[in-house]
């Protein structure tokens, strides 16, 4: 006999509370395991495809691992040092860029930047904030771990965890399925498939879109000769995860830098604009329809809310789990809504009698 609904709610509530408390207290410890799990989830379809080509699961995982190590090694030697150098230089140059902007406005539009003007005061405040916070932001980005040991642990444990999880992924799924409550197993499987569909479409799809656009923007800006083009391209690619934000922020930053660097050389400024415009065309008409799909059930506002709430509550680990949790809550909410519409509470006794 199944447990009463009140008891089921109590037990599931306790499970949710324990999970939240574990994430709260052990967030930093769980970080490499969360990252490793995310990597394994992202690469599981690749391993399945290699298995369908005749490789064993272990051989498929080994192939993916070798390719991943080689790719990371190339990035570590060729790309990451340049990226860090450009990011540091951009943070150090930002106050000077604002002063140049103020001088430009003084020459071209003096009525906007008089000593009592709003634009003048705003530029001064922005310059002070950037100068004060640039070192702090860079410290947060590049030295977020407490020590070199923490960074080493993260760099070592996350890949090892991802390899072990990737090898045993199918067996883990079967094991979890065997532990489901028998009365609710079909419903849980159905909801799990829907959640996996949303995550597959959004996380894997948008991850691929971000990677492709980031490489495209960075390479295009590098060809044009834009200073800080690599870091601008990476920023635009990462922010593509949030619809329209990547193009707006990256485009505004790139065009603003191009105006300072190429002022008077309008073909190069137009080329920078064309890079982002063409990127948006490619994303909207090719990448997103093919890799993400037209409907994944995650509205941009809901995604922003999840990232904000989980980030503020659980820090960086919370931001990592925000998207899958948001996808799960969305699927569960739609399921609850369908159950509600089929209940007497929604239909009422009058409609029940008519049927």
Is the per-residue pLDDT at 305 higher than 50? yes
Q: Each residue of 52-107: pLDDT tens digit?
A: 888 888 899 999 989 988 887 777 676 666 666 666 666 666 666 666 666 665 66
Q: For residues 218 and 245, give the distance between their C-alpha atoms in angstroms, rounded to a whole number.
A: 17
Let me know: does 220 contact 213? Beta carbons within 8 Å. no
- The reply to whether 51 and 126 lie within a common domain is yes
Which residues contact residue 197 at a Cβ distance below 8 angstroms, ignoring those fewer than 6 apart? 296
Average pLDDT, the chain: 75
Let me know: does 321 contact 22? Beta carbons within 8 Å. no
Residue 121 lies inside a defined structural domain of this protein: yes
Torsion, CA 337, CA 339, CA 342, CA 348, rounded to 10: -70
Pick from 168, 196, 231: which residue ends a domain? 168
Q: Each residue of 103-127: pLDDT tens digit?
A: 665 665 555 545 555 555 555 555 5
- Report if pTM > 0.75: no
Residue 255 lies inside a defined structural domain of this protein: yes
Residue 179 lies inside a defined structural domain of this protein: no
Is the per-residue pLDDT at 148 higher than 50? no
Which residues contact residue 27 at a Cβ distance below 8 angstroms, ignoring those fewer than 6 apart? 314, 315, 316, 317, 318
Residue 316 lies inside a defined structural domain of this protein: no
Residue appearing with tokens 């207290």 = 25
- The reply to whether 158 and 246 lie within a common domain is no
- The reply to whether 234 and 122 lie within a common domain is no
Pick from 294, 318, 343: which residue ends a domain? 294
- The reply to whether 37 and 157 lie within a common domain is yes
- The reply to whether 163 and 213 lie within a common domain is no
Residue 86 lies inside a defined structural domain of this protein: yes
Pick from 294, 313, 346: which residue ends a domain? 294
Question: Which pLDDT belongs to residue 8?
Answer: 67
- The reply to whether 58 and 127 lie within a common domain is yes
Residue 313 lies inside a defined structural domain of this protein: no
Domain hosting 59: range is: 28-168
Q: Each residue of 53-63: pLDDT tens digit?
A: 888 888 999 99
Q: How many domains does the chain have?
A: 2
- The reply to whether 88 and 154 lie within a common domain is yes
Q: Is the dihedral of CA 35, 316, 142, 301 positive or negative?
A: positive
- The reply to whether 162 and 213 lie within a common domain is no
Residue 265 lies inside a defined structural domain of this protein: yes
Residue 225 lies inside a defined structural domain of this protein: yes
- The reply to whether 33 and 163 lie within a common domain is yes
């Amino acid at each position: 006999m199944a447990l009463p609904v009140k008891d089921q709610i109590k037990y599931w509530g306790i499970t949710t509370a324990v999970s939240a408390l574990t994430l709260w207290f052990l967030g930093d410890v769980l970080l490499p395991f969360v990252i490793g799990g995310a990597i394994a989830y992202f690469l599981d379809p690749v391993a399945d495809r290699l298995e369908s080509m005749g490789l064993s699961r272990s051989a498929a995982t080994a192939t993916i691992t070798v390719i991943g190590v080689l790719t990371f090694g190339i990035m570590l030697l060729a790309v990451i040092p340049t990226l860090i150098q450009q990011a540091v230089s951009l943070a150090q140059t930002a106050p000077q860029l604002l002063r140049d902007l103020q001088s430009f406005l003084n020459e071209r539009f003096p009525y906007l930047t008089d000593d009592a003007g709003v634009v003048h005061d705003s530029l001064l405040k922005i310059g002070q904030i950037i100068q004060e916070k640039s070192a702090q932001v860079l410290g947060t980005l590049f030295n977020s771990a407490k020590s070199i040991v923490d960074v080493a642990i993260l760099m070592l444990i996350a890949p090892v965890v991802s390899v072990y999880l990737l090898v045993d992924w199918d067996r883990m799924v079967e094991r979890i399925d065997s532990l489901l409550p028998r009365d609710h197993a079909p419903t849980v499987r159905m909801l799990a498939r829907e959640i996996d569909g949303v995550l597959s479409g959004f996380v894997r799809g948008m991850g691929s879109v971000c990677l492709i656009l980031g490489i495209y923007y960075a390479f295009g800006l590098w060809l044009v000769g834009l200073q800080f083009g690599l870091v601008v391209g990476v920023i635009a690619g990462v922010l593509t995860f949030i619809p329209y934000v990547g193009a707006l922020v990256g485009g505004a930053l790139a065009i603003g830098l191009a105006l300072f660097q190429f002022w008077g050389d309008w073909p190069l400024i137009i080329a920078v604009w064309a890079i982002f415009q063409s990127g948006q065309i490619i994303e909207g008409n090719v990448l997103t329809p093919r890799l993400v799909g037209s409907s994944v059930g995650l509205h941009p506002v809901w995604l922003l809310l999840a990232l904000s709430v989980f980030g503020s509550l659980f820090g960086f680990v919370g931001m990592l789990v925000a998207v899958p949790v948001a996808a799960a809550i969305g699927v569960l909410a739609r399921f609850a809504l369908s159950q509600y519409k089929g209940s007497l509470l929604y239909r009422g006794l009058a409609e029940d009698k008519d049927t």
